[in-house]
Structure 1
Amino acid sequence: MIKIGYLLSYDYEMLLTSVKQLYNYADKIVIAVDSERKTWSGNTFVIPDSFFSEIKIFDKKKKIQFYFDKFYLPSLTPMECESRERNLVLKKMGKGWKIQLDVDEYIYDFKKVSQYLKKYWYLNLFPTLTPICFQGKLITLFRELPDGYLYIENDEKFPFITNQTKNIHTRRNDEIRNHFLNIKVIHQSWARSEEQIHLKIKNWGHRDDFDTESYFQFWKTLNSSNYEQFQDIHPIVPNIWNFLKFMPSSSIDDFIKKYSLKNDQIPIDLPVKKIFKTAVKKIIKQ
């Protein structure tokens, strides 16, 4: 089975854009919401009842399950709260291929991802012997402008699919085999209104990792005329975001459509023999 896990908070409005990309090819979708409506920083957010009604109407095949729990603990840092919540969601999803997404991450042409994972269904028979984490490639949207989007397209990888029920840190598990899947995931990230960005940087897991207010002021200066002047702009590891690109677009759906037409999803096959050799060695040791 292919299961999707989302963490839902103040940016709930982006969820349907993501879910629409994969709904027809997922078996189960788990959406985690803090029962006290607290962010990882302990701030309160509101999700209107109309949102849940909209999801219910959309979910015609009854694949979506909401998971309410207390995900903010004042004794933990925002990043520790994030890691804890992601692991709770993994356990909630159970056995199978588990795809861990944020609501602003969009996997276009998800049918190819589904076909790829089903080809390796047998790796879920005894997942403790064949543990694996798949990494994708992020296409980071950095600024929404009146005439389109500034975005970053390089080799930034991130883990998001596993057959395990526990991560080591956020979505990462460096203690098991990691395989670059070469699937592109559009991340709306910083391409939001000024109000939404201010809310994000006060509440996300990276709240304490850099001077968020100073970076916010820099972000506001960018436009479709001056973006080429700036390089190495990632707030924590500068060269990860080496330079910006611009695509004229009328909406996020328009950007996804235009980008997908020029960039096919071409997943890279797994080294199956190596995986089974490792599994055999584990059995022998036991």
Structure 2
Amino acid sequence: MIKVSYLVSYDYFMLLTSIRQLYDYVDKIVVAIDLDRKTWSGNTFEIPESFFVEIRKFDIKNKIDFYFDVFYLPELTPMENESRERNMALSKLGRGWKIQLDVDEYVYEFKTVAAYLKKYWFLSLYPRLTPICLNGKLVTLYRQLPEGYLYIENNEQFPFITNQNTNTQTRTNYRIRNFQTNINVIHQSWARSENEILIKIKNWGHRDDFDTMKYFDFWKSLNVFNYKNYKNIHPLSPEVWNELYFLECTTSDEFIAKFSNKNMQVLSPMPIKKIVKSAIKKILGKE
């Protein structure tokens, strides 16, 4: 089975764009929302009732479950609260391939991704023997301009699919094998309104990791004429976002359509022999 978890707060309005990419090909979707409407930083957010009405109307196959719990603890850092919520949501998925997404992450051509995961269905039968986390490649939408989107495409990897029940930090499990699948995931990331970006940087897990307001001013200064002048612009690891590209379009849906037409999902086969050998060693008590 293929199951998906989402963490939803102030950017709830992006959720359906993400769900539409995969809804027909997954078995279960868990949407985690803080019971007290608190972010990982303890700030309050609101979600209108119309959001829940829209989701229920869309969910014609009854695949979507809302999971309400207390995900903010004041004694924890934002990153610790994030890791805690991701694990709590992960625990609701049960056995199978478990995909951990944020609302602004869009896995296009998911039919191909689903076929890939089902090909390796046996790896989810005894996850203790075949622990693995699958990495994707982020295509980061950086800034929406009147003319289109600035974006980054440089093979930046991130973990988001697992057969395990817990992570060690956020979506990462440092104790198990990580494998690069080449699944492209479009990440809305910084391509939001100025007000939405301010809300994001005041509440996300990286709130205390860099001078967010200085970086916000830099982000605002970019336009279709000057973006080529800047390299290595990631706020934490500059070289991770080494170069900006531009695609003419008006909406994220149009970006997804145009980008996917030129960049089909071509996935890498998993190293099954290595995984099986490792499983045998575990059975024999040699690992």
- Give CA deviations for 1:51-110 in whole Å, capped at 9, x if unaligned: 000000000000000000000000100000000000011111111000000000000000
Q: 1:186 maps to what in 2?
A: 186
Aligned pair count? 286
Mapped to 2, the partners of 1:163 and 1:70 lie a distance apart of: 25
Q: 2:278 maps to what in 1?
A: 278
Q: What stretches of structure 2 of length at least 5 have no aligned partner?
A: none
Trace 1:71-220 onto structure 2 (pairs within 5 A).
71-220=71-220
Mapped to 2, the partners of 1:25 and 1:182 lie a distance apart of: 19
Shift of 1:155: 1.7
Shift of 1:175: 1.1
Q: 1:241 maps to what in 2?
A: 241
Mapped to 1, the partners of 2:276 and 2:251 lie a distance apart of: 45
Mapped to 2, the partners of 1:33 and 1:63 lie a distance apart of: 17
Mapped to 2, the partners of 1:126 and 1:155 lie a distance apart of: 30
Q: 2:39 maps to what in 1?
A: 39
In the alignment, does 2:232 pair up with 1:227?
Answer: no
Q: Which runs of 4+ in 1 moved over 2 A?
A: none
- TM-score normalised to the size of structure 1? 0.99
Trace 1:3-22 onto structure 2 (pairs within 5 A).
3-22=3-22
Mapped to 2, the partners of 1:260 and 1:126 lie a distance apart of: 34
Shift of 1:124: 1.2
Shift of 1:38: 0.1
Q: What stretches of structure 1 of length at least 5 have no aligned partner?
A: none
Identity of matched residues, %: 65
Mapped to 2, the partners of 1:168 and 1:203 lie a distance apart of: 21
Mapped to 2, the partners of 1:135 and 1:273 lie a distance apart of: 19
Letter in 2 for 1:62: N
Q: Secondary structure at the match of 2:55?
A: helix
- Give CA deviations for 1:11-35 in whole Å, capped at 9, x if unaligned: 0000000000000001000000000
Q: 2:63 maps to what in 1?
A: 63
Letter in 2 for 1:14: M
Mapped to 1, the partners of 2:81 and 2:193 lie a distance apart of: 25
Letter in 1 for 2:26: A
Mapped to 2, the partners of 1:221 and 1:42 lie a distance apart of: 30
- TM-score normalised to the size of structure 2? 0.99
Mapped to 2, the partners of 1:164 and 1:90 lie a distance apart of: 9
- Give CA deviations for 1:121-175 in whole Å, capped at 9, x if unaligned: 1111111000000000000000011110000000210000000000011000121
Mapped to 1, the partners of 2:92 and 2:61 lie a distance apart of: 20
Letter in 2 for 1:99: I
Mapped to 1, the partners of 2:123 and 2:253 lie a distance apart of: 34
